[in-house]
Amino acid sequence: MTQELTGVTVVIIVSIGILILIMLFIFAKRQIMRFALRSRRGPHIPIGHGAKKSLKKEIHRRIDAIPKIVYEPRMINENDSQYIMPPDNHLPPFYCRLKAMDDVKLLEQEITRQDPCLHRHPTENLRAYLLTTLAAPLNGMGQRMVHQFCDLYEHARHDPSEFGDEEYQVFHRLLLKLIDAARLLKSYSNSRKSSPNRTPVKKSQDKCRQLLEAKLKEKREDESPPLPPPPDNTETTV
């Protein structure tokens, strides 16, 4: 036997359904936020939340500068006892590679000593840096030497093939030649500073310019109307 639902019963059923929908919505939203926070790499709270706008910009600027911080450490510590061995023992096979890495810093220091503006950032390509900075001392004839030096450097740093004492001696000879070329940078920089910024004007050009200016001046004087005569201020007596 079916009975008709009263108005109160309908309202109760509808309200219960609405409450269930609201609870499901809140639960789904919380789950979505939880998964989003787990998958997100950053912090749960925005960086600089509640701080001043200027402070927030400074925080973001410093965070963005972190990937640009690169440092090339010294590979071999001269005071390290593991590289001080008796004459009968041999150095480890990677010693020549580490020594080559440190020797490149000697060349960079010599270039910077001659011209402080020629500083190399660790992210800058070594081959392009040497070709640019040593172009004047080598006078275009030492590009092959620079390429050989950089090839040996990349061999020592990245190539898994053997880099022993023989390869290091070739690398060291090229290094000494490039250091000698770097010592000439100061004289080239001084010559660039002492040279005038503009080429001197020839005397013939000066004469032509003077004649042209004189003609223009005469033309202006001819075209200008004559000045009226000054009024006669003398009083006439009758």
205 pLDDT higher than 50: no
pTM over 0.85: no
Mean pLDDT of 71-86: 70
Per the model's pLDDT, the better-predicted residue between 162 and 211 turns out to be 162
Domain ranges of the chain: 85-190
Q: What is the residue whose two structure tokens read 């590289």?
A: 83
Most confident among 65-74, 89-98, 150-159 (mean pLDDT): 150-159
Q: What is residue 75's predicted lDDT score, i.e. its pLDDT?
A: 84
pLDDT band at 128 (very low <50, low <70, confident <90, very high): very high
pLDDT band at 61 (very low <50, low <70, confident <90, very high): very high
Alpha carbons 181 and 107: distance in angstroms, whole number: 10
pLDDT band, residue 153 (cuts 50/70/90): very high
Separation CA 43–CA 38 (nearest Å):
10
